Each structure stands twice: as structure tokens, then as C-alpha cells.
Structure 1
Amino acid sequence: MTFIADWQEWTREREAKLADPHGFLAITGLHWLEEAPQRFDDAPGAWSTGPGGVSVELGEGETILVDDEKHSGRYSFGVLPERASVFATWGDAVIEVAKRGGHDIVRPRHPHHDILRAYDGTPRYEPDERWVVPATYRAFETPRPVTVGAAVEGLEHVYDAPGELTFEIDGQALTLTAFEGHAPGTLTVLFTDATSGVTTYAANRSLQVPAPGADGSVVLDFNRAANLPCAYTPLATCPLPPPENRLPVAIEAGEKKGKTLP
């Protein structure tokens, strides 16, 4: 693929994910679970959490599907690890059960939600090979736990940082703390820059980084700097970048401000 065609394919995949009928734009509520059972307008049953994890007591006529199995009455999701999500189907909705910042939450996702129906695409900078930047990865002797804030006030996330990335833009030396990526060996970077709050989302953007070579060489393609869910919905618990990842330069590449709706 050419550089432009590859970027266009990435863009198509991003837009398909954003328009997913059960994606994060379909979230209708962010419910924090307690030991006392609670019912919510956008989910079935009464939900609670405790030492045994999350459970729901479904009312008469209420059923959910978990892993294609129908359940009624009381159902236990068990103890979820941090950043895990389990999904249950309820009619045309999907109920996400998750743990974020040490708290169990329920986030229903409805395909007819106003934010999803109003979504008409994310603006982006035009792709430019200037923003494909060579970098060097330096692994720490042991991964460092890094505590960062979140889009939700009072919530904190802890990530293991296996190392850092160094690179230059316009002759200026820069460094980013990297977190573990989605695939083994890959990395994720959370950052802000001089465009944040001007043309790009103020709180954060993310960049997926391929596995570095044996010599630490790797490429940062800022044309693929992406918004996190909190750029579109207030019902997201996205992490904020660590202080050292607030870059003093303008990264005029990647996704611009999302269209967050009240």
C-alpha cells in the first residue's frame, strides 16, 4: 500500500469503529455499582457488587444473553480484573460490565442513542509524511507503575510503563513515556501537544506504536494520533497523559476535536 492509501484504510477502520451500533458512542449511562442493589433506566435487573464481584438480579420476564447463553433470575459476572469488560445482550442493547480505576461499573450501549445517531464523522489533518518520525525505544530495567488521572473527576488509573521513546521534531529533542500496547510487544502513548484545546481534543490523544526492533528503533506515525472515547461522550473513563507526555510542540497530524454532545 502507498502511504496515502494506508492512511485512508486506517481512517475507514476508525470511522467504522466510531459508528459501531454498540460502540462507545452508544453508551447511555455510566453507573457506579455498590453493595446495595440498584436498578437503572437503561439496563435490566438490579445490579450490585461485593467480594464475589458483580451480580444482577433479573426481574420477572427479564433475560440477558452472555456468551450466547440466556440467563434469568440471578446472574454473577464474578470478580473482574482492572480494565476488563464483559458484555451481555439485552434486546437490541449491549450491557457492558467493567472495572475502571478499581470500581465496578455498568455502561449500557443502545444503538438508537442520540450521540451515536448525531455522529457524522471526525475531522482529521491531511496525511503528511513529515509526521512519520523515527524514534528510539529505551526499556526500563523493570516496568514502572505510573498513576494518571482520568476524564472522570476523582478517578485514577495505574499503568505499567515498560520504557520511553525519544525522538526529534524540528530539531527539538522530545521524550514520551510508553505504556503496554494491545498486542504483545507493541506500545501505547498518551499525549497532548500545542494543538490540544485549539484544533485537537484538549485532554488527550493516543498513538499505537509497533513493536520496536532489537536495537530499539521504531517509527511514530502521528498521522494516526487518535481521539479517546472521552472526546465524544462524557460517559467515558479515559486516562489522561502523564505530565511528561505534554509536548511543547504542535503535532498538526491525526484526529482533530471530536463532536461531544451534551
Structure 2
Amino acid sequence: MTTTEHDLRTTWQAWHDEREQWLQEPHGWLSITALHWLTSEPTEIAGLPGTWRVRDADTVELSGVTAEDEVRLDDRPVGGSVGMQPVDGLPGVMVSVGDKVVEIARRTDDYALRVRDPQAITRTAFSGVPVFPVDESWVVTGRFTPYDEPETITVDAVVAGLHHYPTVVGTVEFELGGATQTLRALPGKDGGLGLHFRDATSGQETYGGGRILRVDDPGADGTLVIDLNRTVNLPCAFIAHATCPLPPAGNTVTVPVEAGERTPLRPDLA
């Protein structure tokens, strides 16, 4: 093993360990046990206090809460009724109910509750994310070409009938398998870019809804390093109650990307 290979595997292992720790957080993605779509009708939900409804165009209301329900919003006790205003495309409003957390999320004009329970089997039985072997051949140089203006596009979701409206900021080109690959790039949440794609392993060795790779900001000349060993699954690969977007149209790598995360084991389906 060369020094470069050793360094690549060492840094990848530290990154992979951190990612698995993040996945296992008590109220992280692996803790989600239910997804409930709300209407204007006050509705009781099993295991949760009070009633929940969409009160108006931008507000979800929880009513009938007592002190014994142990409900907290922004770390303050909630009693009676409270209104919450989640924003489409952003993380939802988090409400604590005992040791559970309820996420109130907005998806276009629809609202849903996601219940996060630290005792979820998808979390307690989690045994790690299966991956392909780390290999330096999957580290390539690409070039980013920005659009004159960011473009809002429409993509489908893993939930039938649901749509997402992400922003794409340009294209990334790189050589892989003897062919030029071109992917539309999303802005990263904390800088950099996101490449959400399918490839010939999708639906076979890897999750059928595609995977995503975060890359650092390109240099002044547009060049960037693409380490496909760090390609990861979206939450929908791990749990049944996610609303993940599918990749933008055309974001398909023409060769099998046998790098990064594989299809995870699902203890809830065992």
C-alpha cells in the first residue's frame, strides 16, 4: 500500500466513523418510526398527546396539551394549544414529547408529522452501513461550470405524488470509465456542492433512489476533487418514513459506481 492509499483510507475511516455516529444520534434519521400527513381536521395520533391539524395556510396547531404530556417547544413547556410554522424544504419544527421528538415538516402545501423515537428498531439494531472497498481509483478531478443564474427545478420524491423544488447552480464534468460524466450540481448546506445521482449499481448493490456526494467548493479555475468513496445514502435508504427527493433528470453516471455506501440492512424489514 502506498502512502497515498494509506492516507486516503485513514481519512476515509475517520469520516465514515463520524457519519455512523451521526446516523445513530438519539433523534436522528434512524429514530423515525412514523409519518402522518395532516389535514384541517383535528386528529388524534397514537402515542402522542392532544390533537393535530393544519390550522391555516402556514400553521400547524397542537391542541389539548396538559402538563402531564411533557410537551416542550424551543425547550419551553407547552400547555393548551400552540401553533407552529414549518418552512417548505427546510428541517421541520421539533417538538419534544417525553423522550420522543415530533418533527412538523412542510412539503410544498402539505404538512406531516415525523415521530423520532430513540427506541426505534432501525436505530437500536443498526449495525453499520455496508460499503464498497475504498480505492484511490475512485478519486477523480472534475470541473464545475456555474450557471449564469441558479435554476429551480422540479424533481419527484420517493413518496408518490410528492415533489421537491431544489436549486441547481451549475454542472460538474469528470471522466469515469472512459466517458465524460455530466451532473447538475446542488448547493451544499454548509458550502460546497451536492451531486445527487443514479448509476448502474442503483437498485442492485446500491439504493434504487440514488445516492449523493458532497464535494468541496471548486477552485478559482472551476476544478474540484471528486472522491466517490464518500458517496452516501439518503435517509430513505434506511427508513420507511422519509420523503427524499429523487435525483435531477439526467443525473445518471453511465458506469457502475462501485464506491461509497451500499444498500443498508433494514432491521424493520427483517
TM-score range, shorter chain: over 0.9
Q: Any residues of structure 2 matched to 1:91-130 within 5 Å, and which?
A: 91-130=98-137
Q: Any residues of structure 2 matched to 1:8-157 within 5 Å, and which?
A: 8-49=13-54, 50-60=56-66, 61-157=68-164
User: Aligned pair count?
Assistant: 261
Which amino acid in 2 is paired with 1:9?
A
Which amino acid in 2 is paired with 1:187?
L
1:192 corresponds in structure 2 to 198
Which amino acid in 1 is paired with 2:16?
T
TM-score (norm 1): 0.95
Q: Would the alpha carbon gap of residues 79 and 17 (structure 1) be closer, same or farther in structure 2, given more than 3 Å must change?
A: closer
Quote the Cα distance in structure 1 between the aligned partners of 2:208 and 2:39. 32
Contact 1:28 1:42 (8 Å CA) reproduced: no
Contact 1:146 1:158 (8 Å CA) reproduced: yes
Q: 2:226 aligns with which of 191, 197, 220?
A: 220
The superposition leaves residues 44-84 of structure 1 with CA deviations (integer Å, 9 ceiling, x where unpaired) of 22111122411211333323112211111101113534323
Which amino acid in 1 is paired with 2:72?
L
Quote the Cα distance in structure 2 between the aligned partners of 1:201 and 1:174. 20
SS at match of 2:239: coil
Which amino acid in 2 is paired with 1:141?
D
Quote the Cα distance in structure 1 between the aligned partners of 2:123 and 2:99. 14
Q: Would the alpha carbon gap of residues 182 and 43 (structure 1) be closer, same or farther in structure 2, given more than 3 Å must change?
A: same
Quote the Cα distance in structure 1 between the aligned partners of 2:219 and 2:8. 21
Q: Would the alpha carbon gap of residues 248 and 51 (structure 1) be closer, same or farther in structure 2, given more than 3 Å must change?
A: same
Quote the Cα distance in structure 2 between the aligned partners of 1:42 and 1:95. 11
TM-score (norm 2): 0.92
Contact 1:138 1:164 (8 Å CA) reproduced: yes
Unaligned runs of 5+ in 1: none
SS at match of 2:95: strand
2:3 corresponds in structure 1 to none
The superposition leaves residues 213-254 of structure 1 with CA deviations (integer Å, 9 ceiling, x where unpaired) of 111111111101000111111100001012211222011100
Q: 1:256 aligns with which of 245, 258, 262?
A: 262
How big is the alpha-carbon RMSD for the aligned residues of Structure 1 and Structure 2? Answer: 1.5
Establish whether residue 180 from structure 1 lines up as the match of residue 190 from structure 2: no
